[in-house]
Structure formats: structure tokens, C-alpha cells
Structure 1
């Protein structure tokens, strides 16, 4: 299976369990790797036979900026579900970064990675 990767998609979201996270929001960064069979598109040079990653990028940032959830797990699942609405996408690996997580010790990043595929 071929892979199309989008790295560093950024948007402000209001996800988290703390009232401050819901009120103020914070940046979230998402990386996705889409499993796609690109042979049909390559043979025909036709965008309709693959996935338009520009559209996927816009959809992912809309999910980040959309309705809040408590957990990174829920946000990652919403993003994977959105990616899998595209017919050409057979699987989606989603990593959500929360670089400003409310942690009381110095840290660089918090991430969660999930991998989902068509049933």
C-alpha cells in the first residue's frame, strides 16, 4: 500500500478536561499518513482516482477547530473517521500533538497515535 503523509497541520482547538483548556483553547498539531493504492491515479494521471490531500488537510483542521472533546483519543478518532470518508483512503494513521498540555514539569510534546482502516 502506498502512503500519502501530511505533517504539521495546525489549528487552535478547545479540547481537554480542564475548564481553562475549554475556555482559552490551545494549538494542536496533527500528522496523518494515509494508506492509498495510487496505481489507478498514476496510470490515468487523474486526481479523481486518488485522494486530494489539500481537501483532507482542510477537513482535519476543521475537526481540530470543531466541537470540543475531553480526550486526545476522541480527537484522533474523529480525524481518522474523517480521513476514511474518502473512497481512496484504505487506512489512516493519525498522530495528535498537544504541545501545551497542562503538565506541571518541563516537556516538549504530548502525542497520541492511532491507526484505523476500513472494516
Structure 2
């Protein structure tokens, strides 16, 4: 099994628990790894056979920009659900960072894994 990835996808959204955070848009950044068998698209050279990372990014951008969650944990979970249900991703690792959220750090956030690696061997 192979991996399709999106690195440092930055999206502006309303995220946070504090009153002042509910009134502004902040940037969140995604690093996503998704299990996918790339043998078929490699043989056909057809976009229709791929896990189209542009389509994935556009769907996540639309969702995240319109969301208003308090916790990065909730946002990460909802994005993972979209990837699994709408794009048929059997396994994913999603890192969601909130840059500048803690003084002295570049970013804070969560990393979640959902699903089962298709060959059962794990990653």
C-alpha cells in the first residue's frame, strides 16, 4: 500500500475556546497521510484512478473555512470522517497544528490515526 500526502495545508477558520478567539479567524495547518494503492493510476496515467489530492484539499478547505469549533480535536475528527467517508480512505494520519497558540512554541495541535492499514501489516 502507498501513501498520498498533503503537507502544510493552511486554512483560516474560527477555532478556540476563548471569547476573543470566537471573534477572529486563525490559521490552522494540516499534514495528512492517506493510504492508497497507486499502482492503478500509475498504470493508467488517469486522474480518475487516483486519490485526487486537489479534490481532497478543496473539500477540506471548504469545510474548515465554514466551521466554528472550539477544539482542534473536534476539527481533526470531523476532517478524518470526511476523508474516510467521502473519499474512501481506509487509513489516515492527520496532524492538525494551530500555529502561535502557545507563546514560545511554533505550533500546538493533535495527531490522529483512523482506520486500518489495508494490508493489515500496519505502517
Check whether TM > 0.5: yes
TM-score normalised to the size of structure 2?
0.85
Shift, 1:46, TM fit: 2.1
Aligned partner of 1:11 in structure 2 is: 11
The count of residues paired between Structure 1 and Structure 2 equals: 115
Distance 1:41 1:90 in 2: 17
The 3-state SS of whatever aligns with 2:69 is: coil
Q: Does 1:110 align with 2:111?
A: no
Per-residue CA distance 1:19-45 (angstroms, 9 max, x = gap):
111101211111111110111222222
Aligned partner of 1:22 in structure 2 is: 22
Shift, 1:97, TM fit: 0.7
In structure 1, stretches of 5+ residues that fail to align are: none
Distance 1:112 1:21 in 2: 19
1:5-84 matches, cutoff 5 A: 5-84=5-84
Runs of 4+ in 1 over 4 A off after TM superposition: none
Distance 2:50 2:105 in 1: 38
